[in-house]
Structure 1
Amino acid sequence: MGNILRCFTGGDNHGDDHYRPHYHPTSEPGIILHSGWGSPPRFQPDHHQLGPHGGVASLVQDLFNFESTSMVPEALRNNVTSSKKAQVKWYRNILEAYKNCSPPPKTAAEAARLVAAALSRIQRADLEGFLAFYNLLIPSFSSASTSSDYQPSSLPEGIQFVLNTLPVHNKCIGDGDGFTAYVDTADPRESANVPLEVHEMVIERTQARIDRDYQTADALLRSLNEAGYKIITILGEEILAKKYRIRMRGIDAPELKMASGKESRNALVKLIGVKRVTIYVYGQDQFGRYVGDIYCDNVFIQVKHELCSHNLWFYGFNYDVINVCLDSGVFQEQMLKSGHVWLFKTYDKRPEFAQWEREARAACRGLFASENPEKPWDWRRDQRNANIPVY
């Protein structure tokens, strides 16, 4: 629960300061001559490095030292406010990201992006302090960017805002074109909009748990959910997140009760399940869902699929590891090309969408393997004519 409390107090659990010792780097900053992971890198002094402890080479050396000693740099405490225990988690996350990054970062900008993605859950001030410690370039965060590395320089016309989500849990995917997403309220766009009563409920719940008044804590948790917020535990820390119901723009999936409905949902689960996504929101539909294009372009961390069924907590599961998406591009493209959804011609005239659907039809993929697949809008119309409520 420390992460949530820090959102309101700016403090940290300094009682854990002796969780791990610090170490003092012994080598000078330099450039990597050999970056194979199996053996320690060799360094050549680089007098162009800034500061006493700077550059990609210093970061990589500290990661190697951390892997063998579980110790973090002594001087880092001058740049950040979080405890040593928290710093140990940071280096563990960055080390995992570095091992799974191919090719490894070579420039300061690449290293900064890797660190920002691996430490997307920490306070902005600590992230900036960590990057400054290594003289790495600080990424230019937009108004809604701290949870995703993917942020184009210019947004297409019509986009109202951008959401960068926490990992999308499989249970939150309703069908092949819609899901529920949660956004960390530490995100700059969200933090300014959290109602005061929500802050108060979080603090009261924390105190109730300290007092072991679990009945009150559970009641407050339900009130948070009703207000559109959820407390989610990731990597052992609680995060206050805002709930968003999402409708994928330009496509229409078979309803779950239709033929191919479950196959369409399963296809979307494989694409975005347990992954962070970026959503370009164009507006809301008549049901209050946010309509947008869904992207994913982080390339740093991949969790093996067998890990995703163990030791996870998210909407009832516990995340020990987070899966960051390795796919890129708009997800509607992949759903259309695989034949798991229809182009929603009434609302979207993009020619590339029509081309992707034609390709699936020609190859008889997915629902187009049937000679005359039923259209979801026709199915919903028939249901409504029979007085059966449907979206």
Structure 2
Amino acid sequence: MKKINKILGLLVFILIIYVPCFAENYKVLYVSDGDTVAVKRTENDKETGELIKVRLFGIDAPEINQDYGYESKQTLINFIRNKNVKIYGKKKDRYGRVLGTVYYNNENINEKMVKTGNAWWYEKYDKKNVRMKQYQEAAQKNKLGIFAKKNYISPWEFRKIKREKKKRKN
């Protein structure tokens, strides 16, 4: 009995890890900012179902009202808007967005945003991702994207400063 339970547990674990919650193809209809998109499932080149918001897992892009926010959003638009992508993700964030990894032509777009300096590696939520750490360090070293600016501020620091200013006003 213990052996069967172990095998069943292993099978469930494998299904959770390797089976994405989404079907294969989605069309990117809207880009909110450098780390959030809205998609619809596609079947036979036709959009179907409801609009789904996807937060790109493991990255954090500048806020729209932050320095370089518009440029980051525009970069993501150039990479994937109106394109058919594959999305792998299971969990949702506190805003109900799916946390996912987006692929276009087998290229990891989450990684591409960090590689090009258009988003930060979000270490807080993706601590063990050594590759993303290396991509960010290379972007910083080569002064790509946001890292070409002087005195750049990470999005989480920007949000913290905004919250503190708001508290002081109240």
TM-score normalised over the length of structure 2: 0.80
SS of the residue corresponding to residue 157 of structure 1 reads: helix
Q: Which residue of 2 aligns with 1:333?
A: 111
The percent identity for this pair of structures is: 29
Instruction: State the one-letter code of the partner of 1:179.
Output: V
Q: 2:39 aligns with which of 181, 189, 197?
A: 181
Unaligned runs of 5+ in 2: 1-13
Runs of 4+ in 1 over 6 A off after TM superposition: none
Unaligned runs of 5+ in 1: 1-153, 188-232, 298-327
TM superposition shift of 1:180: 0.7
Q: Which has the higher strand share?
A: 2
Q: Give 1 or 2 for the bigger CA radius of gyration.
A: 1
TM superposition shift of 1:176: 0.5
Cα distance in 2 for residues equivalent to 1:295 and 1:162? 13
Matched, 1:356 2:132: no
Q: Which residue of 1 aligns with 2:10?
A: none
TM-score normalised over the length of structure 1: 0.36
Q: CA RMSD in A?
A: 2.5
TM superposition shift of 1:334: 1.1
Relative distance call for 1:159 and 1:355 in structure 2 (3 A) is farther
In the alignment of these two chains, the number of paired residues is 153
Q: Which residue of 2 aligns with 1:271?
A: 79
Q: Deviations over 1:109-135 (max 9, x none)?
A: xxxxxxxxxxxxxxxxxxxxxxxxxxx
SS of the residue corresponding to residue 160 of structure 2 reads: helix
SS of the residue corresponding to residue 161 of structure 2 reads: helix
TM superposition shift of 1:268: 0.4
Instruction: State the one-letter code of the partner of 1:288.
Output: G
* Alignment of structure 1 residues 190-201 onto 2, 5 Å: none
TM superposition shift of 1:383: 2.1
Instruction: State the one-letter code of the partner of 1:250.
Output: G
SS of the residue corresponding to residue 267 of structure 1 reads: helix
Q: Which residue of 2 aligns with 1:127?
A: none
Instruction: State the one-letter code of the partner of 1:262.
Output: Y
- Contact kept, 8 Å, 1:160 with 1:283, in 2: the verdict is no
Q: Deviations over 1:121-162 (max 9, x none)?
A: xxxxxxxxxxxxxxxxxxxxxxxxxxxxxxxxx989376513
TM superposition shift of 1:387: 3.8
Matched, 1:382 2:161: yes
Q: Which residue of 1 aligns with 2:5?
A: none
